[in-house]
Structure 1
Amino acid sequence: MVDFKDALIDLLGAEQVIDGDAALTNYAYDWWPVAAKWRNQGKTPLKPDMVARPQTTADVARIVTLANEHHMALTPWGAGSSVTGAPMPLNGGLTLDLSDLNHTLNINETNLTVTAETGKMGYILEAELNELGYTLNHSPQSLDRSTVGGWLSTRATGQFSSKWGGIEDLLVGFEVVLADGSVVCYETGPRMAVGPDLRHVFVGAEGTMGVITKVTLQIFRMSEHRIFETVTFDKLEDGLAVMKEIMQRGLRPFLVRFYNPTEARHAMQDKSFEKCVMFLGFEGMPSLAEAEYQVAKSIWEGYPTDILGPAAVEAWMDRRFDFSTVENILRNPGGLAETIEVGHYWDGIEETYHRLEEALSPYADEVLGHFSHVYPQGTSLYIILLGQCADDAEAEANLLKVWETAMTICLQTGAAISHHHGVGVARKDFVRGALASGMTVLERVKGAMDPENILSPGKLGLDA
């Protein structure tokens, strides 16, 4: 360890290497609620031994080469905004803080692409594009606290994905440093049929296959017109049927969110609200947005509904990045809050919802649920728990039980154990069950790409 540290300082300079205990503690926690309980208790079970702050891709390549030579575990870090423990090292070692790789390198207004370094904060990149009349149309709740690289690493998606897709759909190409320090550039253009699509070796790999340093993404002209609507339903199954019909009829609303009555009270900001509620948004050229809205309206008019107008959705749009409810609960001694997102086909999502709601209710005062990120084949489901325990130790223990219970139910019902938050630490013990025989492929790819197992060892359920 000492030899590696000395070599690292020789390579980068002392100012780019962090090894003080207090400073390292900043890299021991992300936004996973279990980590919040660790922080409250002063526990640091997943703290790196040192941190390096590269300034360029060349720096990253030299650091990775050195780590490989010294068999040193290396875990990439973007902004630390994961809610599953993804950037926290399982085996100590070196954390690679990529936040200084934060430049926008090119905005191509002919091809509608943007190239940026992966330490670029999402909200800054989006603001730069907006000034020119463009947008990523990628709007995760973490937009103001996450990096472009973090989106790729966790296979993220955003609130407008029902129309624009997840980060994998926006990805055109990237530059990645492999475990031996070699640098690979890969770009597909609009589409390419030259062997397997190598993008997907790295997207969602959570740093286990390489360190992505640059990325090229699609961008879009900002929409001319938006239409919002709020629709209430007496029955959960009716709302799900409307969502399914909207997507299977070929409509693509940019916003579809359907809340159970408990979360509807929060979404409507009305403690007396007792129905399920759906938020919808359509955008594009005015005539097209209006046409989609009218067809969607004809679908929900076939069910008992009330139409409340755009105000509630517009209010949600203004506060959609606000995570303070969960944050404030977690700061309190004994506060318990958790968000678990999964996905399933239409014929399995309702059973999964009811089983999760019933099984997780004993751990929380409120069980919120909503369906969003919608496809012709199915939808994602969020279960949000809010509660209070006797102390942080009990909250930590209950959160771990919540994860075990939820993941077990998902495996039993055939649901995807994550829709877009990724695996991290929270789900690592359930990946083998989720991938089944596919785990063999993941293990063989990892073994070929990183034979010394230095890149994020233990993540994705792989051997540490």
Structure 2
Amino acid sequence: MAEGQSDPSAAQRRLAVLTGHLRAGNISLSAENCSSTDARRGNRGSAPSSGDQRAFPVKRQEELKWNGWGYLDSGFRMNENGQIEFHGKRYLIGGQELPHLRDYLEQHLGLDESMYRPPRELPNEADIAPPVLNKSFIADLTERVKDILQSSAIMDRVVHSHGHTLEEMYAMCYGKMSRYVDYVVWPSNHDDVLQIVECAAQHNVCLIPCGGATNVSGALMCPTNEKRMIVSVDMTKMNRVLWVDKENLTVHAEAGIIGQDLEHELGKLGFCTGHEPDSMELSSLGGWIATRASGMKKNVYGNIEDLVVRIRMVTPKGTMEKSCMVPRLSAGPDIHHMMMGSEGMFGIVTEATLRIRPVPQTRKYGSILFPDFTNGVGFMREIAKQRCAPASIRLVDNEQFQLGHAMKGPPGSMFTTWMDAMKKLYVTKFKGYDPQTLTGCTLLFEGTKEEVAIQEKRVYSIAAQFRGMAGGEENGRRGYLLTFLIAYIRDFGLQYLFVGDSFETSVPWPRVLSLCRNVKDCLRRECSKLNLVHPPLISCRVTQTYDCGACVYFYMAINSKGLADPVAAADTLEVAARNEILASGGSVSHHHGIGKLRKKWVTETLSSEGVAAIRALKDHIDPKNIFGANNLLPDDSTTGH
């Protein structure tokens, strides 16, 4: 040791290791290094001098819809030719007219152009009650964090009061919410969050964390019986990659970073997390952790619980975190599993360390056609049994297969049109596939060229055992990327009286087929009670595979013409479907979480003792119910004090 230097304490050395300062091979990324993230999310500028000033980031508002999914410059619309097109240039089908989609929607849902209802352009201020303001909280927070961005402007309150359930989107477009957040704050770092939580505990304010706001379980909805000031803690200013450890293959980032921005920053250095949920363009790292997220490529990279190395969470009792950054720790129950899936009930995730991998050398799409869903599921089961699944493998039923075909763009050259006709002839006449039972599987292979070639050969060989035939790389690419457009379809449908939603489950392999059949039959029976003007559209797909089961994703849409309360009707259908899922051996959720939408099934899922244990943890960590979104626990849980 050099003369004059003192030996750092063990605590200091441990802190240095955790923050990456003693780790050889680390790359520290400053705010300047992550400027692309700030450019996409928008520079919020300085804090407002008054709580009534507008603080919603200008660029984000210019890019994202306030009452719909995704980007303002993207979506389905009816053009002047009477055909549906997808506008914008962000996606594969951007700028294309889709000549088959209108016919499909007319046939399957009774699309009627005369029923068009444009969504409102701005919130109706008369429907929004004045904010409940705790002035002592505001004054104390402003004193503690002098430059913190904060607002009670109407638009800020509105966009932070909802996620993306059907109920929330319908309210934003045509109705109103029963309760809005009163105030929004934007912390810039972990210490800001500490101050916010301490202030809230001192002044008895309710906090609801908000990341990308893509939630589909009602987790962001304000409890209607909450009398205290509700503050939305918007995490999107905390969007930095703090460091990357190339030797240990880990990344440490702030929880507000959006998925595609995290992948972009890592990609500059030749790495990726591989976590690709359908919402990765808009959802945040903290949101993934809070809901126990799963991605389309989990077969190679794992679910969020497989990626997490370390989490920092601010609770009313202080910061909860592990003292070291190791691959595994035998030290009692894993506190990470108290944080993951907690849905904003215990505190706010501020930072996380994730495993990363080098960007794969080769990325190749593929697709397989099967004569029916039964053969397709048999193939998926065999792939899981032999543990040879590619990065992504997803099987769609005939209804979704037809929808995917309807979303193809205009025909290309005469040669391409002729080839498509020949392929269809071969599939239906020579292979004997019935167009009314045909199903498809999309594939994504990642790895070295040699690994991908070996895996392709094995996967297609197994497919042949189940009468599967290769459907081409382009169909696989389209099928994979169309996943990002599903929510845009729902927004388009709302404008023509179509209401519906998606819901998912996990189920053991022996029950996959019976569960899919039972749920579809259940929904058809329930729809018959509604006297709908048109039969419903019900479809499913198998999206993630495991040794002992799979994730099944359902889509449901109805023509609500003549229904007094379309949202209530859709909710009745989903409740019936969820009951049938549980009766058929499925789970309450695979990756969407519980929120407020599925709380009624939590005790049945976790047992009364399990729920009591979670409630006891909640009462210890948050005795004043500062994090009072009222998610996860059944309705007899603690409410606002």
Task: Report the TM-score range of the alignment, normalised by the length of the smaller protein.
Answer: over 0.9
Deviation digits for residues 200-250 of structure 1, max 9, x if unmatched?
110111111221100111111111223433222223222111111111112
Residue 299 of structure 1 pairs with residue 436 of structure 2: no
How far is the alpha carbon of 1:318 from its aligned partner? 4.1
CA contact (8 A) 1:64 1:180 kept: no
When residues 301 and 22 of structure 1 are mapped into structure 2, their CA distance, relative to the original with a 3 A threshold, is: closer
Match of 2:91 in 1: none
Residue 447 of structure 1 pairs with residue 619 of structure 2: yes
Separation in 2 of the partners of 1:184 and 1:278?
Answer: 41
Match of 1:208 in 2: 345
CA contact (8 A) 1:8 1:17 kept: no
How far is the alpha carbon of 1:41 from its aligned partner? 2.9
Residue 199 of structure 1 pairs with residue 199 of structure 2: no
2:445 to 282, 291, 294: 282
After superposition, the CA RMSD in angstroms is 2.2
When residues 264 and 418 of structure 1 are mapped into structure 2, their CA distance, relative to the original with a 3 A threshold, is: same
What letter matches 1:110 in structure 2?
A: E
CA contact (8 A) 1:78 1:149 kept: yes
CA contact (8 A) 2:220 2:629 kept: no
CA contact (8 A) 2:161 2:181 kept: yes
What letter matches 2:577 in structure 1?
A: A
CA contact (8 A) 1:261 1:276 kept: yes
CA contact (8 A) 1:227 1:293 kept: no
Separation in 1 of the partners of 2:389 and 2:202?
Answer: 50
CA contact (8 A) 2:295 2:303 kept: yes
When residues 77 and 392 of structure 1 are mapped into structure 2, their CA distance, relative to the original with a 3 A threshold, is: farther
Residue 378 of structure 1 pairs with residue 549 of structure 2: yes
CA contact (8 A) 1:226 1:283 kept: yes
What letter matches 1:49 in structure 2?
A: D
Equivalences for 1:57-456 in 2 at 5 Å?
A: 57-90=190-223, 91=226, 93-182=230-319, 184-185=321-322, 187-269=324-406, 273-274=435-436, 275-322=438-485, 323-330=487-494, 332=495, 334-361=497-524, 362=527, 365-390=536-561, 394-437=565-608, 438-456=610-628
CA contact (8 A) 2:344 2:629 kept: no
When residues 414 and 441 of structure 1 are mapped into structure 2, their CA distance, relative to the original with a 3 A threshold, is: farther
Separation in 2 of the partners of 1:64 and 1:447?
Answer: 16
Equivalences for 1:1-40 in 2 at 5 Å?
A: 1-13=134-146, 16-40=149-173
2:185 to 40, 52, 63: 52
How far is the alpha carbon of 1:413 from its aligned partner? 2.2
How many percent of aligned residue pairs carry the same amino acid?
Answer: 25
Helix, strand or coil: the match of 1:69?
A: helix
Separation in 2 of the partners of 1:269 and 1:166?
Answer: 32
The number of residues matched between the two structures is 463
What's the TM-score, normalizing by structure 2? 0.68
Separation in 2 of the partners of 1:234 and 1:243?
Answer: 14
Match of 2:72 in 1: none
Helix, strand or coil: the match of 2:353?
A: strand
How far is the alpha carbon of 1:393 from its aligned partner? 6.1
When residues 151 and 350 of structure 1 are mapped into structure 2, their CA distance, relative to the original with a 3 A threshold, is: same
Helix, strand or coil: the match of 1:174?
A: strand
Larger Rg: 2
How far is the alpha carbon of 1:174 from its aligned partner? 1.6
Separation in 1 of the partners of 2:190 and 2:563?
Answer: 41
Helix, strand or coil: the match of 1:145?
A: coil
CA contact (8 A) 1:157 1:167 kept: yes
Answer with 59-68 or 82-91: which moved more: 82-91
What letter matches 2:553 in structure 1?
A: Y
What's the TM-score, normalizing by structure 1? 0.93
